[in-house]
Structure 1
Amino acid sequence: MDKLTKVIKKTALLSLLGLVIVSCKEEKKANGKLNVVTTTTMITDLVKNIGDTLVNVEGLMGSGVDPHLYKASEGDVSKLVNADIIFYNGLHLEGKLVEVFEKMKNKKTVAVSSVLDKNTLIGSDYFASNYDPHIWFNVDYWKQITQHVVTTLSEASPEQKETFITNGKAYLQKLDVLSKEINASISTLPKEDRILVTAHDAFNYFGKSFDFEVVGLQGLSTATEAGVQDVQKLATFIIEKKVKAIFVESSVPKRTIEALQAAVKSKDHEVTIGGTLYSDALGDAGTVEGTYIGMYKYNVNTIVNALK
């Protein structure tokens, strides 16, 4: 598809969105419930935990979907227009949806990252937002975001406020348990072995929280492709640091990590692929890894077992 065709399709989609918004009358909540649209699977899971059966939640992205590259389809337009609230990550994680959200001026769009103190975020000289958007890998951040979701839903549906608060407290307790469990697991891994090499820089908040040196083959966004020099440089790093395993990511094609493994082998060394980590999306719906807590436990177990 040439550049002109892409521009035409993008303009048509935004125009369609604008027309639908202008012509669309305010709709009542279905069955008295809030209609909520979420972007990433992590946010979808969180809102479902807080809203439970009192909220209609529709997630735009599914398992294995890369939010950095996600483009709104025409089918997404009606979901967004009919939403009472739209929760998204922000920090340019959903970069290709920004223009769509800007058109939703009569809707309540909520960037969950907006509640965080930007002075504590990890910056980047190479990413458009100047902040690492992978905030869900800091459990303390996720606790703050949980409170933010509770407040937002309570303001939108005051009659259900007490239930949202109760659900929020219950979920925060689960996050406290998660923190204790993953800390206990990671404590079994010597600090000198805490080097995490993955497809792209999705795990910097994880690394900061648990004293890992994190190296991604690609940058903060998967839109940035790794070159031959990047692969060779990282291969040398792996050999020098005696890294035991490197990891594939569920939302990034595994060929990048396989190329890295091959580059290490070409230098007469071996490094194993320690498994697949969930980075920008959760696992399949209905599975343990399809929840934020299940995903985090799975990732930590995979990392620790491969690097021991």
Structure 2
Amino acid sequence: MITHRSSRHQWLAAASILLTLWLSGCTQTTRNTSADSKPSVVATSTIIADLTEEVGGNEIQLKGILQPGADPHVYEPVPADSVALEKANLILYNGYNLEPGLIKLMNASGMKARKLAVGEAVKSLQLDKGKGEVVPDPHVWGDADNVIEMVNAIRDGLIELSPEDKQKFTQNAAQLTSELKQLDTWITQQIATIPADKRRLVTTHDAFQYYARAYGMAVVGTLIGISTEEQPSAQTVRRLVESVKAAGVPAIFAETTINPALIKTVAQEAGVKLAPKQLYSDSIGAVGSDGDSYIKMMVANTRSIVEALGGKYTPFQPTDQPKTTS
């Protein structure tokens, strides 16, 4: 026999369970809504993604398209890239045709997001490809001072996207800019330790013109031009070997995103060593490597250049942030 009291207890228990489930559902809904309310930002290259993460912090949902070590010049988009770009509120890319496959995809119909060419905030160097063809050099990040302009462009793009987070974006950008200024000064000091007649670069592709111009070096030659799509001929290899011999450099450099086989051949035929550490050119390094951020990548490159060309390396230690190991 069910009494009135037991019936009442059953009703209260059921009500309690329903209330608990309702509150739990409300909490979950609130959490999801909060996460979903963050603007969606897509960055193409690993360098742009790293800078954007520093400026945007926890106020954005950031998706990077390229993985560390991937070559933006020859990257072929996959279906997942289309999905990410279509869902984005803001797309940040380098520009100057660094990532032609992704730029073509971005310009396709259905992409409603605002597109910002971060690298084009910097006035480009113009390179002669021969036969009267002059093109902009997209490797603007080789000069750390240029990257300050890129950071400002990212900051302004994020503020336009999410005005309520202006203060946070501005603070993050200012902190990053402070470290970039110190990096710029430090690189100049490091390169100055290399004997003047050895401040010459030979690399796999033409990605270090900005670096060389900013920090007092000369690019003696490269196997290929600004795009890694190019294939060097036997004549190009022979000419580079002769240039290396004439320049008298003690070492030449391979790059992390390009097969080192041909540059090794150049080193052997020219009678010089191949620097033991490859340079990061178009991508930062994998997580845990000595180049897994833009700043660490520039520090690693500078160390490799200084040590291989006879300079004296001193670790980079920014004064207003925790010291980094290098």
Fold in common (TM above 0.5): yes
Tell me by how many angstroms 1:288 deviates: 4.1
**Correspondence for 1:34:** 39
Is contact 1:282–1:292 with CA below 8 Å preserved after alignment? Answer: yes
Amino acid in the other structure paired with 1:125:
D
Equivalent residues in 2 for 1:65-214 (5 A)?
65-103=70-108, 104-117=110-123, 121-126=124-129, 130-214=135-219
240, 243, 260: which one aligns with 2:249: 243
TM-score (norm 2): 0.80
Q: CA deviation at 1:30?
A: 4.1
Q: 1:219 and 2:225 equivalent? A: yes
Normalised by the length of structure 1, the TM-score is 0.85
| Cα distance change on mapping 1:237 and 1:129 into 2, 3 Å | closer
Partner residue in 1 for 2:303: 301
The residue aligned with 2:280 is 278
Q: Counterpart of 1:231 in 2: which secondary structure?
A: helix
Superposed displacement of residue 114, structure 1: 2.8
Q: Contact (CA 8 Å) 2:159, 2:166: kept in 1 or not?
A: yes
Q: How many angstroms does 1:98 deviate by?
A: 2.3
Matches within 5 A, 1:44-83: 44-83=49-88
* Distance change (3 Å), C-alpha of 1:154 and 1:141: same
2:74/2:99 contact within 8 Å kept: yes
| CA deviation vs aligned residue, 1:198-249 (integer Å, no higher than 9, x gap) | 1000000001111211121111101111111111111111112211101110
Distance 2:290 2:273 in 1: 25
Distance 2:104 2:239 in 1: 37
Question: 1:46: Cα distance to partner?
Answer: 0.1
**Structure 1 unpaired stretches of 5+:** 1-27, 265-269
Q: Which is greater in Rg?
A: 2
What one-letter code is carried by the residue in structure 1 that aligns with 2:254? V
The 1:29–1:223 alpha-carbon spacing in structure 2 relative to 1, beyond 3 Å, is farther
2:21 corresponds to: none
User: What is the aligned partner in structure 2 of residue 261 from structure 1?
Assistant: 267
Cα distance in 2 between the residues matched to 1:172 and 1:150: 11
Percentage identity across aligned positions?
A: 32
Gaps of 5+ in 2: 1-32, 311-326
Give, as a single letter, the amino acid of the residue that structure 1 aligns with 2:66.
M
Alpha-carbon offset, residue 180 of structure 1: 2.0
